[in-house]
Structure 1
């Protein structure tokens, strides 16, 4: 039989383990150090696990009393897991979900983290947040998913289902649940509609027409130049909005985009190994030269830390500034800032052929390497990427 002293002394190990008391009652110790009382029992021929409460909040004596109450419920033909729904000591879904969120948050971007916790607080916690995590059934989760589907948010429902399954994977690893009731919900859910790609121009002639139209609009010169530079480099908008002069090597004709402004896992954003180098064609250099003569401070020290394409108050140009520019140029619904990446990939693959596909993907900061190859093959094909961007610049210049 177990003692309170033994329960208190039990420390975390690399793997979860159990200290048994009697009659199926045991103390579960997770690798994180969390300790909770569990009762193993059988219901209608099936083995089940009842979470009684955490130690030391629930003492050994209290755990024995609750185990006895559970067995009494069994003798009366009642599943004790159903009775546990009313127990304030059981780990609730919301408690576990927030623990999962805290565990994953360091590796997520701010936008993704806000989307994750927002979806749970809006659609899940009000319905099942207070239920014991181990007692929730698949039909309960399906009811939550269908309420999201009924408002037309089918893709959102699919994302939430994935998050529910990840939460239960976390709960199982921590010993707070034994099964994932979200694992097979997809069979009863509506299929998400196919993703709608960003509008993008797919011919060099149309791309030139858009850039020419933008030159004729009364708009901020910084916005017009940022638009042209975005087109010539095919990067993501955030990379251009936050661009500083210190990132440009004019002699080498290279722009180094810091990993912090790349679309990466949060853990990679602080690692300079994941910086992205963009070869600058003649047209891109011409844009920078105009920006330097128009916006750059006279002081060299000030210049290096200043924005290349400043907006109001020396802040980055607005997120919607270039999109609005394209709408005013008559290309609403035909092209958006992110569309330059599709334009570049489509046109250059057609222009150069299949043998250049890998180089074009690297130019977009994409990689088809597997994890093992990526660990050893660190070639960036910079010279070949320069050939691609030089040709791209010629096509946009006409």
Structure 2
């Protein structure tokens, strides 16, 4: 008998066809194509002893772990002559009769309805980072059942304060993202008359929750960055890893193009384009932090000779119609590298350098709020803060003076209303001069 490899969450998310889950005989993920072209995934249990197929639930409403547990329990009941499907229907019916709470919108139900509403309007159209997946992580890691299952109209600021106060004090941006979305979702529910009018319990500014959350916040709101004078040595060490590490190549490309984290990790080959004999990384505005409703053109980053060499040496892998420049191929699925992969690479580089100089790759101006130790640099800090610090200091680093507007354009910082109103293209010629100089500086201590 052929053994089926046990399904993982990562592989499950990438599935495009019906596949056995392994682990529990007969447990299958059935993939169904919907009318809108999207894929729905259902856990089903095929029981050959009685020639029946039971539907356990749709993913992700039922998680992979829950499906394994449910399938195991149902197989035991089937062996005992019990129909678990009918038993579940009877239980749900009795619960509906016993409690009117089922008729009220819970916080978890609200969040998913709010996401569906906004996605239908064209918001959050980045397929590599769906809003629903982000909130599945929030529910899994940060939000207790006391909030998830609570009817929205019964939620109080005290509930959010009890759940998030410690995270508010120690984490930099996750609590803000959770509370911002929660506030918007509850406001939408009130406007849509899904719940009665009420004071928004997730309102921080000018709200009761703002009085309950700690005043002390995590230090170091900015990503740890490397002092520019250390960048050439850091880059020389990084380039030693590039031939054997796609994560290292991704980090190097991000630094050379002053890219945001996801912009670099999720880059695809069809975004690398030649325009009038010159090469650019053309990033769809939907993938950028500042979206198309504010800026009417896609982001174009001129590629320095060093960045082009990095791409020319990269293996081209087209896997399951995915064309990521820096693919993470794992157990039959292809995806971008995670933030944790890049973070782990920098940590290994830091540990190695610390054995040499006793310091490692740290931001000398930032310390960890809990340990008091210096913070290790990050992709975002090196690619953007280090780049900007270098670009501002013409005399200190021996390059041409670059205006503030030009530096901001290189970083895709375009929030002022007058810029958004009148800009129709980037200063690509001037930007190329900046990135060429940055590439030369980064490689100034690298000897192949």
Please tell me the TM-score bracket, short chain as reference. Answer: 0.5 to 0.7
Tell me the distance in 1 between the aligned counterparts of 2:440 and 2:270: 24
Secondary structure at 1:148 match in 2: helix
Report if the CA contact (8 A) 2:223-2:378 is conserved: yes
The 1:173/1:393 distance shift into structure 2, 3 A limit, reads same
Secondary structure at 1:256 match in 2: strand
The alignment yields a C-alpha RMSD, in angstroms, of 4.1
Tell me the distance in 1 between the aligned counterparts of 2:311 and 2:102: 63
Tell me the distance in 1 between the aligned counterparts of 2:106 and 2:316: 54
C-alpha displacement of 1:120: 5.6
The 1:93/1:342 distance shift into structure 2, 3 A limit, reads same
Equivalent residue, structure 1, for 2:386: 343
The 1:111/1:383 distance shift into structure 2, 3 A limit, reads same
Tell me the distance in 1 between the aligned counterparts of 2:268 and 2:186: 41
The 1:380/1:364 distance shift into structure 2, 3 A limit, reads same
Greater Cα shift, 384-393 or 308-317: 308-317
Tell me the distance in 1 between the aligned counterparts of 2:151 and 2:245: 57
Report if the CA contact (8 A) 1:172-1:178 is conserved: yes
The 1:395/1:187 distance shift into structure 2, 3 A limit, reads same
The answer to whether the aligner puts 1:100 opposite 2:147 as a matched pair is no
Which of 247, 255, 265 is residue 272 of structure 2 equivalent to? Answer: 247
The answer to whether the aligner puts 1:389 opposite 2:435 as a matched pair is yes
Report if the CA contact (8 A) 1:257-1:276 is conserved: yes
Structure 1: gaps (5+ residues): 1-85
Report if the CA contact (8 A) 1:199-1:335 is conserved: yes
C-alpha displacement of 1:317: 6.6
C-alpha displacement of 1:349: 1.6
Residues paired across the two proteins, number: 297
Which of 274, 277, 280 is residue 303 of structure 2 equivalent to? Answer: 280
Structure 2: gaps (5+ residues): 1-98, 354-359, 363-375
Which of 207, 212, 233 is residue 257 of structure 2 equivalent to? Answer: 233
Which has a greater percent of helix? 1
Tell me the distance in 1 between the aligned counterparts of 2:145 and 2:344: 38
C-alpha displacement of 1:359: 1.3
C-alpha displacement of 1:253: 2.8
Deviations 1:120-159 (A, max 9, x none): 67636524844462xx37xx33144224325776655554
Tell me the distance in 2 between the aligned counterparts of 1:167 and 1:221: 41
Tell me the distance in 2 between the aligned counterparts of 1:210 and 1:172: 52
Matches within 5 A, 1:1-398: 88=101, 91-94=104-107, 96-106=110-120, 107-108=123-124, 110=129, 112-116=131-135, 118-119=137-138, 123=143, 126-127=146-147, 129-131=149-151, 133=153, 136=154, 140-150=156-166, 157-175=175-193, 176-182=195-201, 183=203, 184=207, 185-191=209-215, 192-203=217-228, 205-217=229-241, 220=244, 222-241=246-265, 242-244=267-269, 247-249=272-274, 251-259=277-285, 261-263=287-289, 268=292, 274-291=297-314, 295=315, 308-309=325-326, 312=329, 315=334, 318-319=337-338, 320-329=340-349, 330=353, 331=360, 333=362, 334-338=376-380, 339-351=382-394, 356-370=403-417, 373-398=419-444
Greater C-alpha Rg: 1
Tell me the distance in 2 between the aligned counterparts of 1:310 and 1:167: 34
C-alpha displacement of 1:166: 2.3
TM-score by length of 2: 0.54
Secondary structure at 1:253 match in 2: strand
